[in-house]
């Protein structure tokens, strides 16, 4: 009986609020049910973001305590919404590429450009930050310009990432260093029912989790 009631509440939640969220956020791809409620997205994300215009130009949910600048320079996959956690700061002036299934802990900062040492009013041009698939970045981490983080990586909380981190690794510290090999990521995304149709370019990511 409880499962029937829960299922009914989920469907009602999607019917009332889900279509608004899907329309407002064209780059939002998450499990249709049992990820977070659409009413929570409506009140804690949609209203501050789309009505009060806090991070209003971003095409995915960003928490009102977080800041995303240069969103037009961000490329991201599915199951990935940079800035949706508490107190994130994402500065994408030189570009940031996020893969699919990337999660940022609260308080994490990702900074794609520094100021010129001889003139603080100018920002240095440099290569984009690149983050692969299936990456968890713990709370209060800092990712610095030009860093590349591979796929299947965990970055420990409080780390300062100033150098590249290879795939299939767990890394921690200041400066952040690899401490051990990480076993393959095993979540089967092909079994997930997402909130909207998946673009063709992400089908390989979805299907490879079942291979």
- Say whether 72 is catalytic: no
What letter does residue 96 receive in the DSSP assignment?
Answer: E
- Residue 143's φ and ψ, nearest 5 degrees, are -110, 120
E strand segments, the chain: 67-69, 74-75, 89-91, 96-98, 102-104, 109-111, 129-131, 135-137, 142-143, 148-149, 153-155, 160-161, 169-172, 177-181
**Would you put residue 79 in left (φ > 0), alpha (ψ -120 to 50) or beta?**
left
Rounded Cα gap, residues 127 and 129, in angstroms: 7
Radius of gyration of the chain (CA): 18
> What whole-number distance in Å separates Cα of residue 176 and Cα of residue 182?
16
User: How does strand 135-137 pair with strand 102-104?
Assistant: parallel
What residues does 165 pair with on adjacent strands?
149
Would you name the residues annotated as active-site residues? 115
């Amino acid at each position: 009986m409880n499962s029937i009631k829960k299922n009914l509440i989920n469907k009602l939640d999607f019917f009332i609020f889900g279509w608004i969220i899907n329309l407002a956020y064209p780059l939002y791809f998450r499990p249709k049910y049992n990820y977070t409620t659409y009413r929570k997205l409506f009140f804690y994300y949609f209203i501050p973001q789309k009505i009060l215009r806090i991070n209003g130009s971003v095409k995915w949910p960003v928490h009102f305590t977080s800041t995303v600048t240069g969103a037009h320079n961000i490329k991201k996959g599915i199951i990935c919404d940079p800035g949706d956690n508490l107190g994130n700061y994402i500065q994408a002036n030189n570009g940031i590429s996020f893969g699919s299934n990337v999660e940022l802990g609260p308080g994490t900062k990702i900074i794609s450009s520094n100021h010129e040492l001889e003139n603080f009013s100018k920002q240095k041009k440099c290569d984009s930050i690149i983050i692969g698939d299936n990456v968890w970045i713990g709370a209060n981490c800092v990712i610095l310009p030009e860093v590349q983080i591979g796929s299947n990586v965990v970055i420990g909380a409080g780390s300062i990432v100033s150098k590249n981190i290879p795939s299939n690794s767990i890394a921690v510290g200041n400066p952040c260093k690899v401490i051990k090999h990480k076993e393959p990521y095993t979540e089967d995304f092909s079994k997930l029912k997402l909130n909207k149709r998946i673009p063709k370019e992400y089908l390989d990511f979805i299907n490879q989790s079942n291979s």
